[in-house]
């Protein structure tokens, strides 16, 4: 490319200590979309290097979990499953849940894991957590295929509600992003966060209707319970795919509002602290 | 030509030092209140626990100019490049840059050891700011420049360090920004490849690109740069014609840099058992030097004070 001396179109970069509330700079993020692509591509490439069965791990992990849970909770304990076969009831929830837990554990560690990039090259820092929650979408897609197979095996006919599934998946992604933004930014300054994430995931799983149906939660606690966005996600998945547990307006509304608040706060906190990432990391 | 591309206006950068602020725990922070989560670290007045890596540095770089930055370790050279690259923010002052910037602060930015050479070319180039289509177009050229064709589909973790550096620099050399910021990355690699990189850089400079680069290699600065800047302890000491600034650097620096003397210092390195008093690098002729020729014999002299009776000291040197 050629460089003309008085190139008026050349971007002018102003460097100053920033004050006040940071701007969102979504445009900047959009300009770096190829970098997001390459980081996702890198993580996928690296992920199953030096493994024998490779990407089969992506399918095997939730499948083995489902098997164990079905054995323990479905058969031994006899947890109710809204009249559905427990295996399919559980696996329908486990697929978005696996995405979510993988997303926040990758996302939460993402900024610190990319220290070498943060301290050596400029790009909008949001690229990193965004890329880290896109990577496990591949695993999600693979497990989802298995889920479809399972639904067919148990001869469950999905209703038109299946068309709403992308919305519920979007809600899952947004929740994973919101949590990742908080954790990844906090993790830069407080490495305690890295040790906290596994516990958070464990508690969160039992606080979501994954191994049990929403209906076992007493009605007066339902609204509070719905503050957990995964309640909306899981109910949504079960409704869209299995035709059970139709989500009521309030449950969904509260879940969505909860996510939006968490996401807005997360973006704000991330943008606010990213100015000092390179100095603190 | 003639228009300034980089204008730096009294930039300062303060870092806090000492163990207290390095990593605090979440508990401490929560005790300090939620408000601090969103607040900025304030400018620290406490001189004990802070250090000014840069203090009131102003300069301009004209379009097409190749400027060198010299100074001892810890003089603020890298900090300056980090600020211009937008990796870190200045504490005070500001700068304005016209044009697209690429910075090479490290050899092989973004390289992943598990990925092959081919994959790393794409990854690193993308991280350094190249578009995918641009990488595809230049791929063969980059590959030829790197001289690692035979191993291009082998993970780079199996590369020798020389091959790794060649591949990394081949990517960097094909960046096409208007402004290039380079930290001491050319110091690595064998002499022949270094020369090739220099040639490529000169070519780049002649195309009207602005380059700012840090080096300890005075010969390189003298041959490549039209102007030069000398930083000392965060202050701009001299700025102007490269040869003159280098001369000034030599006049001020050379007698001390090859020797560290702690005999009169209150902060002698060491512990309860032993203190380092003095260390120096001596060449074959018995002179204290900062640079050695590759074939020259050298002695490292260290003077210790052993503070515990009967203790025996076994010095170890890690290179």
* pLDDT 10s digits, A59-114: 888 889 999 999 999 889 988 888 889 999 999 999 999 999 999 999 999 999 99
CB nearest to B29's CB, from A118, A120, A190: A190
Partner-chain contact A14 B101, CB within 8 Å:
no
B3, B126, B208: residue with CB nearest A6: B3
Measured distance CA(B111)–CA(A137) in Å, rounded: 24
Q: Supply the DSSP string of A35-70, one letter for each residue.
A: HHHHHHHHHHHHHTTT-SSTTHHHHHHHHHHHHHHI
The nearest alpha carbon in chain B to A22 belongs to B38
In this structure, of A155-164, B50-59, B103-112, B246-255, the range with the lowest mean pLDDT score is B246-255
The CA distance from B263 to the nearest CA of chain A, in Å, is 33
Largest CA distance in chain B: 69
Q: Please count the other Cβ atoms lying within 10 Å of the Cβ belonging to residue B42.
A: 6
Select the more confidently predicted residue: B257 or B220. Answer: B220
Which DSSP state fits B18?
S
Q: Rounded to an integer, what distance in angstroms lies between the CA atom of residue B211 and that of residue B3?
A: 14
B138 touching chain A per CB within 8 A: no
Residues 282-311 of B with CB under 8 A from A: none
CB B95 within 8 A of CB B7: yes
Q: Is the dihedral of CA B22, B27, B32, B38 positive or negative?
A: positive
Closest A-chain CA to B131: A34
CA distance B54 to B42: 17
Which of A35, A190, A276 is opposite residue B26, by nearest beta carbon?
A: A190
Residue whose C-alpha is closest to residue B30's, from A201, A183, A182, A190: A190
Order of strands across the sheet that contains B101-104: B101-104, B179-182, B210-214, B66-70, B227-232, B235-241
Using CA atoms, how far residue A57 sits from A49, A60, A62, A97, A132, in Å, is: 12, 5, 9, 16, 18
Query: Taking residues B136-160, what's their average pLDDT?
Result: 91
Q: B22 falls in which pLDDT band (50, 70, 90)?
A: very low
The tens digit of pLDDT for each residue in B231-254 reads 988 899 889 988 888 888 877 754
Q: How far apart are the C-alpha atoms of A213 and B57, rounded to whole Å?
A: 64
Q: Please give the residue of chain A at the shortest CA–CA distance from B209.
A: A3
Q: What is the pLDDT of residue B74?
A: 83
Query: Above 80 in pLDDT, residue B287?
Result: no
Pick from A116, A120, A64: nearest CA to A90 = A64
Cβ-defined contact of B25 to A123 (cutoff 8 Å): no
Residues of A in contact with B25 (CB under 8 A): 190, 192
pLDDT computed for residue B297 by the predictor: 80
Arithmetic mean of pLDDT, B172-177: 82
Nearest to B115 among A34, A45, A278 (CB): A45
Chain B nearest-CA distance from A59, in A, is 23
Q: pLDDT value at position B299? A: 83
Higher pLDDT, B219 or A165: A165
Q: Is B178 on the interface with A (CB under 8 A)?
A: yes
CB B283 within 8 A of CB B292: yes
Handedness of CA A92, A97, A98, A99 (dihedral sign): positive
The residue with tokens 């170890």 is B316
Using CB atoms, pick whichever of B15, B100, B114 lies closest to residue A46.
B114
User: What is the pLDDT averaged over residues B185-211?
Assistant: 72
Residues pairing with A13 in the sheet: B97
Closest by alpha carbon to B48, among B23, B78, B21?
Answer: B21
Q: Which residues of A touch B156 (CB under 8 A)?
A: none
Q: Do A121 and B29 touch (CB under 8 A)?
A: no
Please name the residue of chain B whose CA is at the shortest distance from the CA of residue A42: B123
Q: Among A31, A50, A26, A94, which Cα is nearest to A271's? A: A26
Residues in B touching A50 (Cβ below 8 Å): 114
* Mean per-residue pLDDT, B124-134: 90
Residues in chain A within 8 Å Cβ distance of B122? 38
pLDDT in tens, B256-283: 556 666 676 655 677 778 888 877 788 7
Please tell me which of the candidates A10, A15, A269 has its beta carbon nearest to residue B86.
A15
Q: Tell me which chain B residues have a C-beta less than 8 angstroms from the C-beta of A193.
A: 26
B210 touching A, CB under 8 A?
A: no
Q: Which of A108-112, B33-37, B288-292 has the lowest mean pLDDT?
A: B33-37
Please indicate whether, in this complex, the C-beta atoms of B2 and A45 are within 8 angstroms of each other.
no
pTM of the model: 0.80
From chain B, pick out residues whose CB is under 8 angstroms from the CB of A54: none
Nearest to B98 among A10, A17, A45 (CB): A10
A104 or B305, greater pLDDT? A104
- Which DSSP state fits B283? E
On whether any CB of chain A is under 8 Å from the CB of B78, the answer is no
Show residues of chain A in contact with B82, CB under 8 Å: 278
- Which residues, 6+ apart, have CB-to-CB distance to A262 below 8 Å? A175, A178, A179, A182, A229
Name A187's Cβ contacts closer than 8 Å, sequence gap at least 6: A108, A109, A111, A112, A193, A194
Q: Do A17 and B91 touch (CB under 8 A)?
A: yes
**E strand segments, A105-236:** none
List, run by run, the mean pLDDT of 10-residue segments along chain A (281 residues): 43 78 76 92 86 82 91 90 89 95 94 91 92 94 92 86 92 96 93 92 94 89 88 91 78 88 92 86 79
Q: What is the pLDDT of residue A69?
A: 92
DSSP conformation class of A127: H
Q: How close, in Å, is residue A13 to chain B by CA atoms?
A: 5
Nearest CA in chain B to A50: B114
Residues of chain A in contact with residue B85, where contact means CB-CB under 8 angstroms, are: 121-122
Quote the radius of gyration of chain B (alpha carbons, Å): 23
B 236-275 residues with CB below 8 A of A?
Answer: none
> B240 - beta bridge partners?
B228
Instruction: Provide the pLDDT for residue A5.
Output: 39
Phi, then psi, of B67 in degrees rounded to 5: -115, 135
Confidence at residue B260, expressed as pLDDT on a 0 to 100 scale? 67
In percent, how much of chain B has pLDDT > 90? 22
Give the pLDDT band of residue B31 (cuts 50, 70, 90).
low
């Amino acid at each position: 490319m050629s460089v003309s001396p008085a190139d008026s179109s050349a971007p002018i970069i102003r460097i100053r200590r920033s004050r006040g509330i940071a701007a969102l700079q979504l445009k900047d993020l959009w300009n770096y979309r190829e970098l997001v692509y390459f980081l996702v591509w890198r993580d996928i490439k690296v992920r199953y290097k030096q493994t024998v069965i490779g990407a089969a791990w992506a399918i095997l992990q939730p499948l083995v979990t489902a098997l164990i849970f079905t054995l323990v909770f479905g058969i031994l304990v006899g947890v109710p499953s809204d009249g559905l076969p427990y295996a399919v009831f559980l696996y329908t929830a486990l697929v978005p849940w696996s995405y979510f837990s993988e997303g926040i554990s990758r996302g939460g560690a993402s900024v610190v894991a990319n220290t070498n990039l943060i301290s050596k090259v400029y790009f909008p820092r949001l690229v990193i957590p965004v890329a880290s929650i896109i990577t496990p979408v591949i695993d999600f897609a693979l497990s989802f295929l298995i889920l479809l197979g399972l639904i067919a095996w148990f001869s469950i006919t999905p209703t038109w509600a299946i068309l709403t599934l992308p919305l519920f998946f979007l809600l899952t992604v947004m929740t994973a992003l919101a949590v990742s933004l908080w954790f990844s930014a906090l993790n830069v300054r407080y490495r305690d966060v890295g040790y906290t994430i596994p516990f958070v995931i464990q508690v969160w799983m039992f606080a979501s209707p994954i191994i049990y149906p929403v209906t076992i939660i007493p009605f007066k606690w339902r609204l509070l319970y719905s503050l957990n966005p995964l309640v909306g996600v899981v109910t949504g998945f079960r409704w869209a795919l299995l035709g059970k547990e139709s989500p009521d307006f309030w449950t969904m509304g509260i879940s969505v509002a909860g996510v939006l608040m968490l996401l807005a706060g997360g973006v704000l906190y991330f943008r606010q602290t990213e100015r000092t990432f390179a100095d603190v990391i | 030509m003639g228009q300034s591309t980089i204008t730096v206006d009294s930039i300062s950068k303060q870092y806090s030092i000492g163990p207290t602020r390095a990593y605090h725990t979440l508990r401490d922070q929560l005790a300090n209140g939620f408000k601090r989560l969103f607040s900025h670290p304030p400018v620290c007045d406490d001189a004990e626990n802070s250090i000014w890596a840069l203090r009131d540095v102003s300069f301009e770089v004209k379009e097409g100019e190749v400027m060198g930055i010299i100074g001892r370790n810890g003089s603020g050279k890298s900090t300056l490049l980090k600020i211009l690259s937008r990796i870190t923010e200045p504490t005070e002052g500001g700068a304005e840059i016209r044009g697209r910037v690429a910075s090479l602060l490290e050899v092989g930015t973004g390289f992943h050891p598990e990925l092959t050479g081919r994959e790393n070319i794409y990854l690193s180039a993308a991280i350094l700011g190249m578009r995918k289509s641009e990488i595809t177009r230049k791929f063969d050229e980059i590959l030829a420049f790197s001289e690692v064709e035979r191993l291009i589909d082998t993970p780079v973790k199996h590369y020798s360090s020389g091959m790794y550096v060649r591949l990394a620099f081949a990517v960097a050399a094909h960046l096409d920004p208007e402004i290039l910021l380079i930290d001491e990355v050319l110091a690595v690699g064998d002499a022949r490849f270094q020369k090739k990189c220099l040639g490529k850089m000169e070519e780049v400079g002649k195309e009207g690109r602005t380059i700012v680069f840090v080096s300890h290699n005075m010969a390189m600065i003298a041959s490549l740069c039209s102007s030069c800047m000398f930083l000392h302890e965060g202050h701009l000491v001299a700025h102007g014609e490269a040869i003159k600034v280098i001369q000034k650097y030599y006049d001020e620096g050379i007698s001390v840099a090859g020797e560290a003397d702690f005999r009169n210092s209150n902060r002698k390195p060491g512990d309860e058992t032993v203190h380092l008093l003095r260390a120096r690098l001596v060449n074959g002729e018995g002179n204290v030097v900062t640079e050695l020729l590759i074939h020259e014999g050298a002695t490292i002299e260290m003077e210790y004070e052993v503070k515990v009776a009967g203790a025996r000291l076994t010095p170890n040197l890690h290179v």
